[in-house]
Amino acid sequence: MKPSKEKFTITYKGKTIELPVYHGRQGPDVVDIARLYKETGLFTYDPGYRSTASCKSRITFIDGDKGILEYYGYPIDQLARNGNFMETCYLLLHGELPTSVQYEEFNEDIMKHSMLHEQIVKFYSGFRRDAHPMAVLVGVFGALSSFYHEHMNIDDPVFRNRATVRMLAKMPTIAAMAYRYTLGWTFVDPRGDMSYAGNFLRMCFLNPMYEYEEDEVLSRAMDRIFILHADHEQNASTSTVRLASSSRANPYACVAAGVVSLWGPAHGGANEAALNMLKEIGTVDRIPHFIERAKDKNDPFRLMGFGHRVYKNYDPRAKVMQQTAHEVLKHKGIDDPLLEVAMELERVALSDDYFIERKLYPNVDFYSGITLRAMGFPSSMFTVMFAIARTVGWVAQWREGITDPDQSIGRPRQIYLGPTMRDYVPMSERG
Ligand code: CMC
């Protein structure tokens, strides 16, 4: 990355300095402020990192104004319509789509590592049966670090590759067990001769009393949902993984930190919140009331599944997701009134000045809940599915960060607003 001819000049307290400006391959130019504090004594203040590039990356490109999302240059809709999740994982990890030989080897490697150590399985019995599956996922995935720490050497590509394969392979097994645990069902071991998505659905839904018959349409829909959620550049959970790993911590624990960040309703938890909102709205005639609430500054209510920090246009994932919702519902012969509510809500919002002016469009989570519900999942599992898909993104970004010579421990500063220095007062003298 070479500095461009343009410079960013800043004058503060009579001193002028020039800061380098970089051009990315695409996207906005970036001012390098690394020297700013040393040369001017100034920090920058950017809560929520609205104007901050926290790292260099080659993996995912988003143009939020145009509604573009690409993994290593491949548009998301092409990958979702024509590719599959395993080749998308390979792409995100290696930068190129695999040849058929590379694909077979990679797929086999992942499926081979999808079993869990018997001791890990024992963790589940410590959780309450009514625990949220995301809480179980955080705990059990974090616990993998206790099994794979002894030979940890993140500078060793062999360790990194092994950790990569294990994390991708075990996440669906852990997630499916979290689901079955809440239902009191026996756990189902993974199958190496099924697709990643098909195997996950089997581990969730198999009834041991009957033969399991794979539903190809649902497996394909699941696979597509995984592709759509696989990576999204420096979102909150990915930044969490990068920040946690900047201290060179155990990668399994870092990915567990990503799961935590994903859980919130402003991020991955929005799919669960969006479906709950559609249920609350219930019927089309109640939409105007909820639109008014979303616009009311004194009401904390927001349209869940609407708006995005980066997309100021239709989220390209939402288009594919909407189509997938229709396909799954049609296939299952379900006439879900919530789909009608969602489509009418979208129509009303997109013709309302409040949403137009703020460029608020449906995001990927708006239609994913309806789809996952039609597939048979309870809403508490929606974010878990997002976590399975995003694991590859977290891992790819962890690998990129850890091998970036510019990476150093993430250590933001602050604007201090607390008291200035004062002397300790013994308790007996405090009024
Ligand atoms: N409903 C109503 N108003 C909204 C919404 C919404 N969903 N989203 C943003 N606004 C308003 C907001 O009140 C503000 O208005 P004003 O300028 O008058 O104060 C304006 O739009 C800008 O909002 P913001 O909070 O500054 O935007 P942000 O970039 O900080 O927040 C967001 C992005 C995704 C957190 C937010 O749009 C939101 O809370 N959406 C609902 C939750 C959701 O669907 N999250 C999933 C994101 S996609 C999945 C993922 O990648 O994780």
How far, in Å, is the centroid of ligand 1 from the Cα of 95?
32
CB of residue 309 inside a 6 A radius of ligand 1: yes
CB of residue 268 inside a 6 A radius of ligand 1: yes
| 30-31 and 3-12 strand pairing | unpaired
Catalogue the active-site residues.
Answer: 308, 365
Which of 104, 82, 99 lies closest to 224, judged by CA?
82
Q: What is the pLDDT of residue 4?
A: 82
Give the model confidence (pLDDT) of 392-423 as tens digits. 999 999 999 999 999 999 999 999 999 999 99
Of 134, 358, 386, best ligand 1 pocket probe by most atoms within 8 Å of the beta carbon: 358
Q: What is the pLDDT of residue 272?
A: 87
Which of 317, 361, 387, 391 lies closest to 81, judged by CA?
317
How far, in Å, is the centroid of ligand 1 from the Cα of 188?
39
Q: What is the pLDDT of residue 154?
A: 93
Whole-angstrom distance, CA of residue 340 vs CA of residue 281 = 11
How far, in Å, is the centroid of ligand 1 from the Cα of 418?
30
For ligand 1, atom 34, name the residue with the nearest CA. 308
For ligand 1, atom 2, name the residue with the nearest CA. 302
Q: Tell me what percent of the chain is helix, strand and coil, each rounded to the nearest 5.
A: 55, 5, 40
CB of residue 303 inside a 6 A radius of ligand 1: yes
Task: Extract the residue ranges of the chain whose pLDDT is less than 70.
Answer: none
Q: What is the pLDDT of residue 292?
A: 96
For ligand 1, atom 15, name the residue with the nearest CA. 358
How far, in Å, is the centroid of ligand 1 from the Cα of 260?
20
Give the model confidence (pLDDT) of 125-184 as tens digits. 999 999 999 999 999 999 999 998 777 899 999 999 999 999 999 999 999 999 999 999
**Domains of the chain, earliest start first:** 3-63 (2.20.28.60), 65-412 (1.10.580.10)
Atom of ligand 1 nearest to the CA of 315: 48
Whole-angstrom distance, CA of residue 265 vs CA of residue 272 = 8
DSSP 3-state assignment of 63?
strand
Residue 116 DSSP one-character state: -
Atom of ligand 1 nearest to the CA of 262: 52
Contacts of 218 (CB under 8 A, 6+ apart): 201, 328, 331, 375
For ligand 1, atom 20, name the residue with the nearest CA. 358
Q: Does residue 363 contact residue 197 with C-beta atoms inside 8 Å? A: no
Greatest distance between any 2 Cα atoms in the chain: 80
How far, in Å, is the centroid of ligand 1 from the Cα of 178?
30
